[in-house]
Amino acid sequence: MSDEGLAVIGVTACNQQIGLHPFNIVGEKYLLGIADATQGWPLVIPALGHCPAETILPRLDGLLFTGSPSNIEPHHYDGVASDPDTLHDPKRDATNLPLLKAAIDAGVPVLAICRGFQEMNVVYGGSLHQKLHEVGDYIEHREDKTADVEVQYGLSHPLKIEPGGLLHEAWGRNLAEVNSVHTQGVDRLGVGLRPEAYAPDGLIEAFSVKDAKNFALGVQFHPEWKVLENPFYRSIFSAFSQACQARAAQRKR
C-alpha cells in the first residue's frame, strides 16, 4: 500500500518524569502494532493535561488508547485512595478521559488496551478493583516481574468470547488464549458497555460500546504483543484497521 493509502491512527502517550524533565512516551509495541498489523501509521497524542479534540479528531482515522505502568487516579470513579506508592499519571487522565468519550461520540474508531480499557470503563461511569489479587476468588492476573518479558507476555489463561459482539465477529470463535499482565480490573461495568469476553474467574476482559457510531472495543489483555505471531491478536487489529480504513476513505470523499 502506498503512503497515500495509510490511515492516520492516534496513539496515546504517558507523561513520565525521566531525570530532571517530563517526557511523553509510548511503548514501541503499540506503535509497531499499528505499523505492522494495520493499514495505518501511528501518530503520538501527547498527555499534556488537555487536548483540542475538536481540532484533532477530524484529522484522525482511528485512536489506540495504550496500556501503562500507571493507574487512573481513583477519584475519577469515586474509589478509595490508592496506596502511597501507586504510580499515577494525572496529565494522562486529564487528556485521555475526555478525549476517549469525544472520539467515540465523533465516530472515530477506538481500540483501548489495558489502561485504555480501564479508562473506557471509567469514562462510562464504571469503577475498578485496584488490587484484584486481594478481592474474592479472582485468579492471579499479574505478571511475574522476575520473569523474562517473553514469559510475562506469554499466554496465561483462556478467554470465553460472547457471541454477537465485535470480538466474536473478528475472531469467529468462542474461545481464545490471552496474556495477563494487569493488577486492576473492572468492578462496576460502565453504563452502555457490552461485555465481550470473560476470564475463567468471571472477570470482564473485553467490552464494546453498545451504541457507538463506529468500532469501539476495549480489551484488558495485550493484543499488540507480537501481534503478527498470534492469529487472535491479529484479528483484533485487522477489525480495527478495517474500521480505520473505512473512515479514511470517508474523510477523503
Please identify which of the residues 73, 143, 205, 224 carries the catalytic annotation. Answer: 224
What is the structure's pLDDT at 4? 67
**Residue 2 reports pLDDT greater than 90:** no
What's the whole-number mean pLDDT along residues 221-226?
98
Q: Which fold has domain 8-252?
A: Rossmann fold (3.40.50)
Mean pLDDT score across all residues of the chain: 97
129 belongs to the catalytic site: no
In whole angstroms, give the CA distance from residue 50 to residue 134: 34
Please identify which of the residues 129, 141, 182, 222 carries the catalytic annotation. Answer: 222
What's the whole-number mean pLDDT along residues 205-212?
98
Q: Which three cell numbers stand for residue 91?
A: 496529565
What is the structure's pLDDT at 136? 83
224 belongs to the catalytic site: yes
The pLDDT tens digits of the residues spanning 46-102 come to 999 999 999 999 999 999 999 999 999 999 999 999 999 999 999 999 999 999 999
Please identify which of the residues 14, 51, 73, 114 carries the catalytic annotation. Answer: 114
157 belongs to the catalytic site: no
The pLDDT tens digits of the residues spanning 130-188 come to 999 999 889 999 999 999 999 999 999 999 999 999 999 999 999 999 999 999 999 99
pTM: 0.97
> Sheet holding 193-198: strands in order across?
40-45, 7-12, 62-65, 110-113, 216-219, 204-209, 193-198, 157-161, 175-178
The pLDDT tens digits of the residues spanning 101-129 come to 999 999 999 999 999 999 999 999 999 99
What is the structure's pLDDT at 204? 98
Contact 223/232 with Cβ under 8 angstroms? yes
What is the structure's pLDDT at 137? 86
